[in-house]
Amino acid sequence: MVHETGGGVYSVVLDDESRIEASLRGRLKKEQRTGSRVVIGDEVDVRIVPAAATIESVRERRTELVRRGRGRMPKILAANLDRVFVVIALREPRGSLQLVDRMLVLVESSGMRPVLVLNKADLENTESTSTDWSALYGSIGYRVLVTSASTGEGIPEFHDELCSGSSALIGPSGAGKSTLLNAVDPSLELRTGVLSRKTGTGRHTTVGSRLITLECGGLVADTPGFGDVGLWAVDPKAVGSCFPEFGGPAEECRFRGCTHVHEPGCAVREAMEDGLIAPSRLENYVLMRQEAEEQEVF
């Protein structure tokens, strides 16, 4: 499995747990330029000859976490991970429900399991937001952790979640992803940033991607922050299935292929009116569905 990428060198952990540095075979190098990259979490076949190792091929991915890169190119962040922590700061920089929903949809559409982490709970005036958001996302069935890297609140629970299988942390720059991992294991000594005084946002402290092996056996990737979560190539018809709580009502929609945007008697909209679906969720769904439709021409 690929544990680290950067500068054309790939750190691969073999089945016998030994770690080697490998380069890419020529054909894969070419594909690299067209955007289909080898990423952390990839299972690869490696050819080892004395003093050199090359990645010969990449196995089919079970899941892949993709976001829109610069321009229209997709950027694959990681492959085959078991869960993704969506780390949002309650303050400094304060997340929004739209940001949370975008991140969750990104993870849902990848096929990985999202866990929502509401961080910086130690800061003043964050309590009502953390209570409201925990209730909202908890009622949908998401695991929600309220954490503070400063006081240690929620860190044991976060640690427990990290110890099985493989995970990644995503979220805006400055939300505290690297700081949370350092709180779990101070020996990691991950670089953490200061917030920009002007904008209150992070400064992209983490660069590059690697899977860290925790003492408890879990693998975790700290990723560089991003706030631009435009969806990449998500089929508009698939956006609804990224909202788990729409599932039940959606089966009762009168029209086949109901978009839940304008159809009369739509059961999803009715569920919202009955207070079973949060208005913010439906609103953000409509927004993201429209975005997916605009992108479909490509």
Residue 281 interacting with Zn ion (CB under 5 A): no
260 contacts Zn ion (rule: CB under 5 A) = yes
Stretch 198-237: interaction string toward Zn ion, x if CB under 5 A: ----------------------------------------
Dihedral sign for Cα 119, 122, 124, 125, please: positive
Written as one string, the DSSP assignment of 156-174 is HHHHHHHTSSEEEEE--TT
Q: How far apart are CA 257 and CA 237, in angstroms?
A: 8
Stretch that binds Mg ion, among 125-133, 169-177, 251-259, 263-271 (CB under 5 A): 169-177
By CB under 5 A, tell whether 292 contacts Zn ion: no
C-alpha count within 13 angstroms, C-beta hemisphere, residue 282 = 22
Which tokens go with 146?
């309220």
d(CA 77, CA 279): 30
Q: Does 259 bind ligand GTP (CB under 6 A)?
A: no
Tell me whether residue 177 or residue 281 sits nearer to Mg ion (CB atom): 177
Size of the site for ligand GTP (CB under 6 A): 25
Shortest CA distance to 221 belongs to which of 90, 110, 102, 82? 82
Nearer to Mg ion, 179 or 284 (CB): 179
d(CA 25, CA 79): 20
Question: Is position 206 an interface residue for Mg ion (rule: CB under 5 A)?
Answer: yes
**Residue number, nearest CB to ligand GTP:** 225
Q: Which does 293 bind (CB under 5 to 8 A by kind): ligand GTP, Zn ion, Mg ion, none?
A: none
Chain positions contacting ligand GTP, by CB under 6 A: 119-120, 122-123, 148-150, 171, 173-179, 192-195, 202, 204-206, 224-225
